């Protein structure tokens, strides 16, 4: 099994050269498989993600060459399942990361080290996988945790923000009064693809006067251009997957 190590942003464009293997309309994003990916695609058994390193636009990973030494183990613990939830999608499954106690701890530590002491009072997590990473980060940095949920899950008064899906729209909701104007927030999800959900979360928080310091995800699918959708809002990721 190969591990691809790339120093983002220099190399990331090289991972997008192969044409998509499936008809365009069947893809959530026009995702080209890495040209160095061995053909595990037909199997549904557990296999490893080939990873590249990622950093935010500012390339703020810990070590001099841009790679934190904990990243390869985290990347290799993530499983890619082909054709889920529908044909053509390569689903990045973080549940295998959660089974590796060291990798899970390292994942949280990487975020905590970045955000501790930065005056962040709110960690917002997008349902449901953002609920797995957000609370440990919030607890470690002394921030409150705010769940951002699908419609009708939160009791009491909520505000909502609509966002586009491939076909149709969906909504994300937050409790009224959970956050206050002037608070500094980060938004957590396991993965950013098109950025639809995350940008809706950003809009929702900004509407109530919160400053979004950064969005943070374990995985980015760069071909889906979520980073562009976030516009001015910074994005920090651990792993970029082509």
Give the nearest distance from C-beta 45 to another protein in angstroms.
8
**Rounded Cα–Cα distance for residues 189 and 149 (Å):** 12
In the block, which residue shows the tokens 């490893």?
A: 48
User: Which residue has tokens 């557990």?
Assistant: 46
Give me the least distance between CB of 1 and another protein, in Å please. 18
Instruction: Copy the structure tokens of residue 226.
Output: 């979520």
CA 66/CA 35 separation, integer angstroms: 23
DSSP of 196-215, one letter per residue? Answer: HHHHHHHHHHHHTT-EEEEE
Q: In degrees rounded to 5, what are phi and psi of residue 114? A: -75, -35
Is the Cβ of residue 44 or residue 164 nearer to another protein in the bound state?
Answer: 44
Residue with Cβ nearer another protein (93 or 170): 93
- Listed in sequence order, the residues at least 6 apart from 196 whose beta carbon sits closer than 8 Å to its beta carbon are 163, 164, 165, 229
Minimum distance of another protein from residue 7's CB (angstroms): 29
Place of tokens 């990347």: 75
Task: Return the number of the residue (42 or 101) whose C-beta is nearest another protein.
Answer: 101
Calpha distance 6→12 (Å, rounded): 7
- In the complex with another protein, the residue whose CB is nearer, 56 or 76, is 76
Closest CA to 212 of 225, 231, 226: 231
The set of catalytic residues is 129, 166
- Give me the residues that bind another protein (CB under 8 A), please: 44, 46, 79, 81, 84-85, 91, 93, 95, 98-101, 104-105, 108, 127-129, 131-133, 135-136, 138-139, 142-147, 149, 152-156, 175, 178
């Amino acid at each position: 099994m190969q591990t691809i190590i790339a120093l983002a942003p220099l190399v990331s464009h090289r991972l997008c050269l192969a044409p998509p293997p499936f008809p365009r309309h069947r893809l959530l994003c026009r995702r080209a498989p890495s040209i160095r990916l061995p053909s595990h695609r037909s199997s549904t058994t557990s296999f490893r993600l080939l990873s590249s390193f990622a950093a935010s636009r500012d390339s703020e990973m810990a070590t001099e060459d841009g790679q934190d030494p904990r990243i390869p183990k985290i990347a290799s613990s993530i499983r890619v399942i082909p054709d889920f939830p529908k044909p053509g999608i390569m689903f990045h499954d973080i549940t295998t990361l959660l089974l590796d106690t060291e990798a899970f701890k390292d994942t949280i530590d990487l975020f905590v080290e970045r955000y501790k002491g930065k005056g962040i009072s709110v960690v917002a997590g997008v349902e449901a996988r953002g609920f797995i990473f957000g609370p440990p980060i919030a607890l470690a940095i002394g921030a409150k945790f705010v769940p951002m949920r699908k419609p009708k899950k939160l009791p009491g008064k909520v505000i909502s923000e609509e966002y586009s899906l491939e076909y149709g729209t969906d909504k994300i909701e937050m409790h009224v009064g959970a956050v206050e104007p002037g608070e500094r927030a980060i938004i957590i999800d396991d993965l950013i693809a098109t950025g639809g959900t995350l940008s809706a979360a950003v809009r929702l928080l900004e509407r109530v006067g919160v400053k979004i310091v950064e969005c943070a995800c374990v995985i980015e699918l760069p071909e889906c251009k979520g980073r562009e959708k976030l516009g001015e809002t910074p994005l920090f990721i651990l792993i970029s997957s082509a």
